Structure 1
Amino acid sequence: MREMLVRFSNEESGASSIEYGLLAAGIAVAMLTSMSLLSCSLASVFNNISTGLKAL
């Protein structure tokens, strides 16, 4: 039993997958934040274009 606990505590493959999962979650949060900020400015640009085209 003790030997099995020692092997389990030395096992690092699970830690790698958890780190990759945290990294992927961080990237997803950054992408969602930047997309939400960018969408506001894009909506403004398209509204300006629409207004300009209606004036023609």
Structure 2
Amino acid sequence: MKNTIQQFLREEDGVAAIEYGLLAGLIAVGIIVASAALGADISNLFNNIGNKLTGIAIPA
């Protein structure tokens, strides 16, 4: 029984998988936060451009 527990504690395959999972999760959170922050800025930019273009006549 003691050997089985020691072998289980030395096993590193599961640890690597957990680390990769945590890393992927942190990257996903970073992408979500960045896109939320940039999304509002880009939306404001296009709204400002649209407001400045209002009233300009399009040549026929």
Superposition TM-score, scaled by structure 1 size: 0.89
Normalising by structure 2, we get a TM-score of: 0.83
Q: CA RMSD in A?
A: 1.0
> How many corresponding residue pairs?
56
Q: Which runs of 5+ in 2 are unaligned?
A: none
Question: Which has the larger Rg?
Answer: 2
Match of residue 53 from structure 1: 53
Following TM superposition, the consecutive aligned residue runs of length 4 or more in structure 1 with deviations greater than 2 angstroms are none
For 1:13 and 1:55, locate their aligned partners in 2 and report how far apart those are by CA, in whole Å: 64
Which residue of the partner structure matches residue 4 of structure 1? 4
User: Offset at 1:22?
Assistant: 0.8
Identity %: 38
State the AA in 1 paired with 2:37.
L
